Structure 1
Amino acid sequence: MKANRLLAVVALLALAAALVWGLMLAHTPKSAPLQGQIEAREYHVSSKVPGRIEEVMVRRGDKVAAGDLLYVIDSPELNAKLMQAEGGRDAARAMQLEADSGARKQQIAAQKEQWLKAKAGLELAKTTFERVDNLFKEGVVPRQKRDEAYTQWQAAKYTEQAALAVYQMTEEGAREETKAAAAGNARMAEGAVKEVSAILADSQMRAPRGGEVSEVLLQSGELAPSGFPVVSLVDMSDAWAVFQLREDMLKDVKLGEQKTLYIPALDLRAEFKVNHIAVMGDFATWRSTESGHDFDLRTFEVELVPLKPIDGLRAGMSAIWE
């Protein structure tokens, strides 16, 4: 009889303990896992040059390295401008070469001949004047004839001086100011060619970084506006996980600490490090609390980067923070 009572008391105590334990579990808040998403660095390759797509060298899913040619834009207007700029450069170089080289040998020889001719005319005019002057002194010729001979002698003297100056100027070549101006024009024309060439180089778009082609928005023959992203690349070597946390959960998150995340698509767990914490925009982050607080809670974005590369990781995969 006593044994039955003892068993009944033990059973009653066990039932009470189980009931208390169940009530405690029912009122203990469960920590639900957080779901985030894997993101990766993206590059949108666009050109400053508007034109028609001549050729696209890649397709979605292709692996590319930095510097690989992605697509080419055909721009006849730029090709014509390049021809104009090159023509102006060649003309400016020729003018500079002419200024630096001076006159041709034939020109110098011709000017020398003109000077010698004027010099000979001067000597003849002087001799003629001396003869007329002697005749004038003897009274053979009138003063008018003497004055005419004297005037011709002086004119021949000025002609000889002018011819000598032109000969010396031709032999010396262009002035330093003329050479400097020609050199400046040549540099200006060279700059115009480089400017157009730089713009044309931007019509052949290459990969800024290695990665995988995620989008090809235009194909050959289509018109590409300036700045339109024709090809998009994703670099999975620069990937991270993004989570949105209420601010009352931030007490358990510290910058630099490690967390274990579960990737369902790969069925594996990997170590991540908290790399960035930032509040999200007000328009989407204010949430009313359900715990009786008299204030609202904001949402923060938390980024975690993997400690080592994860094979098969793709942008858009889910990440579970348990």
Structure 2
Amino acid sequence: MSNYKSILVGVLFITACTNNEKSGSFIQGKTEKEQIAVVGKIAGRIQTIKVSQGDFVHRGDTLAILDIPEVEAKRAQAAGAVTSASAQYQMAQRGATANQLKQLNAKKKALEEQYGFARKSLGRMEAMVRDSLIAQQQYDEVFAKYQGAQAQLIAVDAEIADVQHGVRKEQQTMALGQQDRAEGALQEVRVAEKERYIIAPQDMTIETITLKVGELALPGYTLFNGTLDNSTYFRFTVPESQLKNYNKGANIEVTVPYKGDLKIAGFIKNIKQIGAYANIATAYPDYDIQDPLYEITIYPKEPISAKEILNKTTVTIKK
């Protein structure tokens, strides 16, 4: 039994040494894909979800439809406001109706008769006051009536002119502004109606769907997460002591273990310092914690060659 234990310990020791030697010859990293979040702009309940996780969708495809009852009520209200404002503007342009113009003309005719009588009476009074046949006060009373009749006739002429040429320009401008405001409110409702439809902003693969039918979607809340097509890249973390082995723009080969050690030809796109261990991509780092860390980003030379590699899977490069 003692000999058996010794043999077993030896085998384990040799295996561990072999694995350490093997793992020491490469650096592990992670597959990454450019991600995109699709959010809603207005509040509403999920009425329909038209995609499933894993589906590939094209830009412009409908992902979900929101139920927003308030939009329909606001649309009817805005449409009524537009109708009312348009009628007011047309009235301001056209002025009074034909019947109102007829009434004003009749009023003018009566005032013209009053004015004509007052003018004749004043003419007679002028001769009589010159001959001292009447008192000056009587003449003044007739003159006042003449002036009143004249003023009323001038006023009705001005009313008729306004009717015939439309109301004042300022009133027309005000009516037009009210019409524009009502049409703007209606346009806002139409935009909100379009926002009921959650649309894919780019070609993408749906990774997660955060809500279910019937749940409330708030403005700015992420409804779908997806990855962009042909956006796969690889991320590795190396200490400064190993940085001399990697140069920006250099060609490098990435191995994908779960794909049967598939080889992907790539190039180093970027090298940047990272400030926290929480950001590292390499599994089981064996370097000093005081050693500054750098992130190496590697892009495949042919993006389509990495299209089928799953996100967050382990990849390796040689040290």
With the length of structure 2 as denominator, give the TM-score of the two structures. Answer: 0.79
What SS is found at the alignment partner of 2:213? Answer: coil
**Which residue among 242, 248, 273 is the counterpart of 1:249?**
242
Q: Which moved more, 1:94-103 or 1:137-146?
A: 137-146
Cα 1:59–1:289 change in 2 (3 A) is closer
* Distance across 1 between alignment mates of 2:146 and 2:115: 6
Alignment-derived partner of residue 72 in structure 1: 65
Deviation of residue 297 (structure 1)? 0.6
Cα 1:319–1:58 change in 2 (3 A) is same
What SS is found at the alignment partner of 1:209? Answer: coil
The answer to whether 1:209 aligns with 2:205 is no
Structure 2 unmatched runs, 5+: 1-17
* Distance across 1 between alignment mates of 2:59 and 2:53: 17
Once the two structures are superposed, residues 63-119 of structure 1 have per-residue CA deviations (whole angstroms, 9 ceiling, x without a partner) of 210011111111223333333333333333332222233333333333233222211
What SS is found at the alignment partner of 2:87? Answer: helix
2:83 maps to a residue whose letter is: D
Count of residue correspondences:
291
**Aligned ranges 1:130-279 → 2 under 5 Å:** 130=123, 148-267=141-260, 268-279=262-273
2:95–2:162 contact (8 Å) kept in structure 1: no
Alignment-derived partner of residue 315 in structure 2: 319
1:275 maps to a residue whose letter is: K
* Distance across 2 between alignment mates of 1:175 and 1:144: 42
Once the two structures are superposed, residues 132-170 of structure 1 have per-residue CA deviations (whole angstroms, 9 ceiling, x without a partner) of 666788898887766554443332222212211211222
Deviation of residue 208 (structure 1)? 0.6
Deviation of residue 57 (structure 1)? 0.9
Cα 1:193–1:305 change in 2 (3 A) is same
Alignment-derived partner of residue 102 in structure 1: 95
Identical counterparts, % of pairs: 24
Alignment-derived partner of residue 91 in structure 1: 84
Alignment-derived partner of residue 44 in structure 1: 37
2:267 maps to a residue whose letter is: K
Once the two structures are superposed, residues 194-214 of structure 1 have per-residue CA deviations (whole angstroms, 9 ceiling, x without a partner) of 334334432311001111111
1:44–1:233 contact (8 Å) kept in structure 2: yes
2:88–2:175 contact (8 Å) kept in structure 1: yes
* Distance across 2 between alignment mates of 1:299 and 1:232: 30
Cα 1:196–1:281 change in 2 (3 A) is farther
**Which residue among 273, 298, 315 is the counterpart of 1:304?**
298
**Which residue among 105, 112, 115 is the counterpart of 1:122?**
115
What SS is found at the alignment partner of 1:265? Answer: helix
What SS is found at the alignment partner of 2:258? Answer: coil
Cα 1:129–1:35 change in 2 (3 A) is same
1:38–1:315 contact (8 Å) kept in structure 2: yes
Rg larger for: 1
1:111–1:170 contact (8 Å) kept in structure 2: no
1:216 maps to a residue whose letter is: I
Alignment-derived partner of residue 12 in structure 1: none
RMSD of aligned residue pairs (Cα, Å): 3.0
Once the two structures are superposed, residues 285-315 of structure 1 have per-residue CA deviations (whole angstroms, 9 ceiling, x without a partner) of 798956xxxx921222211111111252221
1:236–1:315 contact (8 Å) kept in structure 2: no
* Distance across 1 between alignment mates of 2:235 and 2:132: 123
